Amino acid sequence: MANRTMSKQVRILTCVALLEVAVIAQTQIPEWCRPLPRPEYKSLHRVNVSDPWFEVYEVRPGVFALYEPHQAEEIISYLIVGEKQSLLFDTGMGISDIRKVTSELTRLPIVVLNSHTHNDHVGGNWQFETIYGMDTDFTRTNARGSREDAQAEIASDQICGNLPKEFNPKTYVTRPWKIKEYVRDGARIDLGGRMLEIIATPGHTPDAVALLDRANRLLFTGDTYYPAPIWLFRPETDLVAYDTSIRRLAALAPQLTLILGAHNIPVAPPSVLPRLVAAFKQVRASKVAGTPASSGKVLYKVGEISFLMRSQAASKH
Ligand SMILES: [Zn+2]
């Protein structure tokens, strides 16, 4: 009896302790990671890799989405595999070892091209030898690396789950990298059996590009479009250029079957591009009421498309 009673007491105490842990865990889970895993991933083909920081999905044959779901950017880099070489479109946060992940997916040489050079897209650039870059001062400045933006990415409300064991938050920076070759609008990159075309899409940043795989009807849009609030508030963002760029991409929609953006979810239908143009037009014409967001920003929402902008920036004048 004594034992049973004691074990019951222990059980009660354990339950209370677990409840407290659960309550603490609940309050510590950042808002953004509560809806994870996102339902869209259920229908995608997951590929096992050894590093738990990444989730990898083969979204089309030879096209791998390298997703980092434990950090608030939910950044997605893409490895596109040809017969002779592969292209890595962005290198993620630099929090874990993206090069090792790519080596588990392809043995072909890898060239890196960034959708643009914000820190969350270039974190692993330093690990690769062949980096293509746009010929802009913005790109050259970012290639020197930086500490501030990187450090902001690992604030406690930005992390969901565990950081990699080898990761040292104190020394975390965006490491510098070398641009091996400049590329420009219209350039083609032959991967062997797969041709990619670079489309300059300045706006989000001066060096933003989209990547078109015309034969396979795929368009990789970087931060010009992804299925979450599109960030258009930073000083390097040019709204007039952005408008021109999204119109150019929308003109390609009839030739496409899939849009692959750089955050949250790797798949979207091409019909989203004309809707993006229409939504942005409405916002710029002051026809959309914004919702105030943090630090003087405003969120504009039109259907499933939304933009996070500086207050007063939306209208044309
Ligand atoms: Zn960006």
**pLDDT tens profile 274-292:** 999 999 999 999 999 999 9
Torsion of CA 23, 24, 25, 31, to 10 degrees: 90
Q: Is residue 13 part of a domain?
A: no
Q: How far away, in angstroms, is 116 Cα from ligand 1 center?
A: 7
Q: Is residue 305 part of a domain?
A: no
The half-sphere exposure of 297 on its side-chain side, counting CA atoms within 13 A, is 16
Picking from 235, 205, 239, 197, the residue whose alpha carbon sits closest to that of residue 223 is: 205
Mean pLDDT of 257-267: 98
State in Å, rounded, how far the first CA of the chain is from the last one: 81
Our count of domains for the chain comes to 1
Helical packing angle, 272-284 and 239-250, nearest 10°: 150
Q: Is residue 152 part of a domain?
A: yes
pLDDT surpasses 70 at 315: no
Q: Is residue 188 part of a domain?
A: yes
Structural domain span for residue 98: 33-271
- pLDDT value of position 88: 98
Mean pLDDT of 216-231: 98
User: In the predicted model, what is the mean pLDDT of the chain?
Assistant: 92
Q: How far away, in angstroms, is 165 Cα from ligand 1 center?
A: 27
Q: What CATH number corresponds to the domain at position 65?
A: 3.60.15.10
Q: How far away, in angstroms, is 147 Cα from ligand 1 center?
A: 16
Q: Is residue 128 part of a domain?
A: yes
pLDDT surpasses 60 at 8: no
- pLDDT value of position 216: 98
Q: Is residue 293 part of a domain?
A: no
Q: How far away, in angstroms, is 193 Cα from ligand 1 center?
A: 30
Q: How far away, in angstroms, is 111 Cα from ligand 1 center?
A: 20
Percent of the chain at pLDDT exceeding 70: 90
Q: How far away, in angstroms, is 60 Cα from ligand 1 center?
A: 24
Q: Is residue 294 part of a domain?
A: no
Q: How far away, in angstroms, is 204 Cα from ligand 1 center?
A: 7
Q: Tens digit of pLDDT for each residue in 156-214?
A: 999 999 999 999 999 999 999 999 999 999 999 999 999 999 999 999 999 999 999 99
Q: How far away, in angstroms, is 18 Cα from ligand 1 center?
A: 40
Name the token pair of 138: 């913005």
Strand order in the sheet with 230-232: 230-232, 305-310, 297-302, 291-292
Q: Is residue 259 part of a domain?
A: yes
Mean pLDDT of 210-236: 97
